[in-house]
Amino acid sequence: MKIKSLLLDEKPTVLKKWFDLILDTYPSETSDFLKRQDNNPADPVSQIIHAGIEGLYDGLIHGIDSDTMHAQLDSIVRVRAIQDFTASEAINFIFHLKKLIRAELEQDIREQDLYEELLAIESDIDGMINMAFDIYMACREKIYELKANEMRNWTYRAVKHSKAYREVKADR
């Protein structure tokens, strides 16, 4: 596919812009901090996002199996699910990739009539979106399960403490 070779040529530009767009979804202070930490091994969020989008982009160009794609998406979406992004906010970064590809390759797509190839790439990106949504929902379910278990344990301890307190008070 001609469009994949164009995507390979534009990889550094697209990845930089995609990374910046993702960071722009955070509050401005957080976004500024993360942008300053770019390629800083001490900042796990930037590292996770950077590695994840590079893996996804390479997978889009070279093709990867769904397990590898799942792992790449999982790393990014898991972070965003923990940070209390809504489902649409958490996976919106994938939609940015569609826009970036169209913007960066607009002239080549038009001049070389690559619309069918563009649709194939966008179909692969749609698959990423579906997978990311499932990952987000699984993460949020786990978070709610953990919260429910913690509340149940807290309630159990409170009741147990209350019974022990009443028994000690009754003995006096």
pLDDT digits (tens, 9 = 90+) for 78-117: 999 988 789 999 999 999 999 999 999 999 999 999 999 9
Q: Where are the domains of the chain?
A: 2-144
Alpha-carbon distance of 134 to 136, in angstroms, equals: 5
Residue (of 82, 36, 74) closest to 55 by Cα position? 74
Residues 6 or more apart whose Cβ sits within 8 Å of residue 139: 77, 78, 81, 82
pLDDT band at 32 (very low <50, low <70, confident <90, very high): confident
Task: Provide the 10 A C-beta neighbour count for residue 14.
Answer: 19
The rounded percent of the chain whose pLDDT value lies above 90 is: 57
Supply the pTM of this predicted model: 0.80
Contact of 51 with 130, CB cutoff 8 Å: no
| Residue 102 DSSP code | H
